[in-house]
Amino acid sequence: MSRLRQASGAPRRLAATFARLRSQPGPGLVTYITAGDPDLDRTEGILRALDRAGADVIEVGVPFSDPLADGPVIQRATERALASGTTLVGVLDLVRRVRTAVTAPIVIFSYANPILRLGAEQFADQAREAGVDGVLVLDLPIEEAGEFRGLLAERGIDTILLLSPTTSDVRLLRAAEMGSGFLYAISRLGVTGARDVLADGAEQMVRRIRAVSELPVALGFGISKPEHVRAVGQWADAAVVGSALVSVIAAAGTSSDLNTRVEEYVRWLKS
């Protein structure tokens, strides 16, 4: 791992971002959007708006026809994105287009099948060319992720692993060994979706991970307000906001102030 990191030259963007966050006061913010909602051209504007507003990491969701880990908000976004013709290759092209304009690290967030359909190695090559910093595959648990992680690591791309309240200590250790960039902790059981209050076990979840790993920890699922982000920031390196942001985008639709609304929402989250 360290050898590969040296071989690829400059420190990876995710590592640099989380190092900066640790040296600064205030919580980090990871933002998730579904690419292609309402369409890929507008997603380009949204990515730039997120970056301007100070999102520390941007997760770009690849729409998939059967998003079984997602709640209704992201399901609907996915349907709109697929209806607008969005594909994995189209998403990678978009990342390539915005890469030089966006300073935040970009993480591809996908289900396994679109990546396997393209071919894992082909995907890894295209992701590197596009300037993708990390990849998270929702339904590729660590038992299945070994080879894929190797393909990404060879290309200087981080493999982001998910950890859940149901994850055993043994698996936490394995994830800590295999993961890179940061670890994504799910604060509650269930599918994605905004909630009014943070999950009770969230702090405990982060403590369990801290006990076995030095990697930065981002905590997600159910976060929608600045007070959530601040609370999470007391234990974790960053909070992840997904469904709530996707709702803002859905409400704006194709209106001309879409990017403004996104930017204002993210600034509010960081306030």
The residues carrying an active-site annotation are 59, 70
Distance CA 240, CA 193 (A): 11
Which span sits near another protein by CB under 8 A: 35-43, 44-52, 69-77, 206-214? 69-77
Distance CA 118, CA 116 (A): 5
**In the complex with another protein, which residue's Cβ is closer, 88 or 258?**
88
**In the complex with another protein, which residue's Cβ is closer, 48 or 250?**
250
Q: Provide DSSP, 60-87.
A: EEPP-S--TT--HHHHHHHHHHHHTT--
**In the complex with another protein, which residue's Cβ is closer, 54 or 71?**
71
Look-up of token digits 């051209």? 41
Q: If binding is defined by CB under 8 A, does position 121 make contact with another protein?
A: no
Q: Are residues 35 and 77 in contact, defined by beta-carbon separation less than 8 angstroms?
A: no
At 152, the amino acid letter reads L
**Contact with another protein (CB under 8 A) among 125, 139, 177, 203:** 139
Number of residues counted as binding another protein (CB under 8 A): 39
Cα angle, residue 237 at apex, residues 270 and 171 outer, rounded to 5°: 140
C-alpha dist (Å) from residue 246 to 44, 76, 133, 140: 15, 10, 22, 23
Q: If binding is defined by CB under 8 A, does position 11 make contact with another protein?
A: no
Distance CA 23, CA 31 (A): 20
**Contact with another protein (CB under 8 A) among 4, 16, 173, 189:** 189
Distance CA 61, CA 33 (A): 6
Please confirm whether the linkage preceding 38 is cis (ω < 30° from 0): yes
**Contact with another protein (CB under 8 A) among 100, 143, 214, 256:** 143
**In the complex with another protein, which residue's Cβ is closer, 50 or 73?**
73
Q: How far is CA 61 from the centre of its chain?
A: 8
Distance CA 71, CA 69 (A): 7
Q: How far is the CB of 153 from another protein (least distance, A)?
A: 20
**Contact with another protein (CB under 8 A) among 19, 116, 211, 251:** 116
Residues within window 234-253 making contact with another protein, judged by CB under 8 A: none
**Contact with another protein (CB under 8 A) among 65, 103, 122, 260:** 65
SS3 content of the chain, % helix, strand, coil (to 5): 50, 15, 35
Contact pattern from residue 73 through residue 102 relative to another protein, giving x for each residue in contact according to CB under 8 A and a dash for the rest: --x---x--x----xxx-------------
Which span sits near another protein by CB under 8 A: 6-14, 93-101, 161-169, 251-259? 161-169
Q: If binding is defined by CB under 8 A, does position 54 make contact with another protein?
A: no
**In the complex with another protein, which residue's Cβ is closer, 198 or 262?**
198
**In the complex with another protein, which residue's Cβ is closer, 74 or 249?**
74
Helix (H) or strand (E) holding 162: strand 161-163
Q: If binding is defined by CB under 8 A, does position 174 make contact with another protein?
A: no
Q: Are residues 134 and 184 in contact, defined by beta-carbon separation less than 8 angstroms?
A: no
**Interface positions with another protein (CB under 8 A):** 64-69, 71, 75, 79, 82, 87-89, 112-118, 138-141, 143-144, 161-168, 171, 186, 189-191
